[in-house]
Structure formats: C-alpha cells, structure tokens
Amino acid sequence: KQTLLPLLREETSSFIFPCHPAVQRPELQYMVMELLRCIPLLLFLLFVCVLDHFIFTILSIIQHHSFVQYSYQTSHHLTVNVMGTSVMAELLRGTIGALNTSFDTEVETSNLACLPRPSGMTRQQYRDTCLPLGALALLCLVQVYPFRLRRAIAAFYFPKREKTRVLFLYNKLLRQRKNFLYLQRGRIARQARQPPGLGTWLLQRCRRRWPWLRRFLRRSCTWCGTPETPRHRPCPDPNCGALYCEPCW
C-alpha cells in the first residue's frame, strides 16, 4: 500500500497500476513484442497482395493485346454445258449435268476461348483480407488490460500466496533503495569533487544576481532529477548549493 511504502519517482515506472488507463512501461515491452510478431504476417500479406495484383496485371495485358481473329471465305462453282440435240447429248446432259455444283464458304474464328479472363480483387475484398490482421494487432494493444486481472484472480484464490508476494516485494524494494542510496551518494560525491562548468557557473551567478530569473532558470533535484518546485530544499552548506526535493531530502 502507498501508505506503508510510498513509491519514489524511479520506482513508479517499474510497477503496473491497474486503474491507470494508459499503457505503462512494464506492459509496453510485452505489447511491443506481440506487435513485432505480427510483422511477418503483415509482410506475408503484403507480398500476397502485391503478387496477386502483379499476376492480374499480366493476365489483363495478355487478354487485351493477344486477341487474334481469322476470317476465311471461299467460293466454288462447277457447270458442265453439253451442246446438241441428239440422244447422246440428252443422255450426257442427264448424267453429267448432275455434277453441276455451286457453294460459298465463309468461316470466322478467333482465340477468344483460349485467352485468360482475370478478375481483380475489389477494395472490399482487400479490406476483408486485412481485417483479421488488424484485429490481431488491436488485440495486442488491448490485451494489457485483461492481463491486469491476473493478479487479482490469483490473490482471490490464493490469499496466503498473495501475502508472501507482497512481503517479498516490500523487502525487494528496501534492498533496491539501499543499493540506490549507496550508488547515488557515490555519484553525488564524485560530482561535488569536480569543479562546476562554465555554463553551471553562469547560471548560478545569474540566479544570485537577478532572483526574478529563477522562475525561468529552474533547477532539478540533485538526487532524482525532479524539476524545481517551492517544496525543494537547498543544502544548508553555503558552499554546496545542491537542491533536493522533499522525499529525497
């Protein structure tokens, strides 16, 4: 509970607050990993759509520019004329006259039946194809909120285990704060041994000479880096000049 152990600014970013609507830093890592897993599916989908459009374009060009039509016309006329009025002439006209034929042939054909008839995908079909992937990406973004219920469900069914986890977390925070205190002391000590830079020295002189510039030249906490507020306290040593926020002080 916050009344038992108020979290510092650095510790707040490592915890998940269930009632916070925004996606927090620990959840952001898992969300990014899930979104990265969707990238191969997205690339495959783009490849399939581009390949489909490419094949459709080629088949459409073949359909419009490979049409060939053939037209064949022929005419045949055969006439046998037998002259005379004798019996032989009449006999020949009766027999050979049957050979008289006359016909006209006109044939038109094309390769239309052999040409491809491609049909391109509509925008609605492309939209329906990409909709499952969009829903998957949306679930990757929304899944962080149902995952927050896991601790509450586990605490309801295993209250003793929940108490053990809380005690472990409390002791872990104390150890981390102790190590953080040790590291920060060493960092501030090394920073104090170094002479102030030209920019830092000019800022200090301007703040001392013109106090009204302090609202624009705001400093930060030496310990945690919190921007200066009226509750910040300076170090009582006049030669130090370090500024600390209320929790760090």
Question: Does residue 12 lie within any of the structural domains?
Answer: no
Q: Are residues 148 and 209 in the same domain?
A: no
Q: Are residues 59 and 143 in the same domain?
A: yes
Task: Write down the pTM of the prediction.
Answer: 0.58
Per-residue pLDDT, averaged over 225-249, amounts to: 76
**Residue 133 predicted with pLDDT over 80:** yes
Transcribe 3-17 into DSSP letters.
TTSPPPHHHHTTS--
> Comparing C-alpha atoms, which of 249, 181, 190, 198 is closest to residue 221?
249
pLDDT at 191: 74
Tokens of 61: 């060009």
**Residue 99 predicted with pLDDT over 60:** yes
In this predicted model, what pLDDT tens digit does every residue of 55-95 receive, in sequence order?
Answer: 999 999 998 888 888 888 888 887 777 777 777 777 777 77
Question: Does residue 218 lie within any of the structural domains?
Answer: yes
Question: Does residue 228 lie within any of the structural domains?
Answer: yes
- Owning domain of residue 205: 199-248
Query: What angle, rounded to 10 degrees, do the helices at 159-193 and 149-157 form?
Result: 130
pLDDT at 201: 59
Q: Are residues 241 and 210 in the same domain?
A: yes
Q: What is the 3-state secondary structure (H, E, C) of 32-69?
A: HHHHHHHHHHHHHHHHHHHHHHHHHHHHHHHHHHCCCE
Helix (H) or strand (E) holding 107: strand 101-110
Return the ∠ at Cα 130 (arms to 128 and 135), rounded to 5°: 100
pLDDT at 43: 94
Question: Does residue 139 lie within any of the structural domains?
Answer: yes
pLDDT at 102: 80
Q: Are residues 183 and 219 in the same domain?
A: no
Contact 97, 49 (CB under 8 A): no
Contact 223, 248 (CB under 8 A): yes
Q: What is the band of 214 on the pLDDT scale with cuts at 50, 70, 90?
A: low
Q: What is the band of 36 on the pLDDT scale with cuts at 50, 70, 90?
A: very high
pLDDT at 210: 65
Phi then psi dihedrals of residue 72, to 5 deg: -125, 125
Transcribe 178-211 into DSSP letters.
HHHHHHHHHHHHHHHHSPPPHHHHHHHHHHHH-G
pLDDT at 160: 93
Q: Are residues 67 and 111 in the same domain?
A: yes
Contact 223, 242 (CB under 8 A): no
Q: Are residues 149 and 133 in the same domain?
A: yes
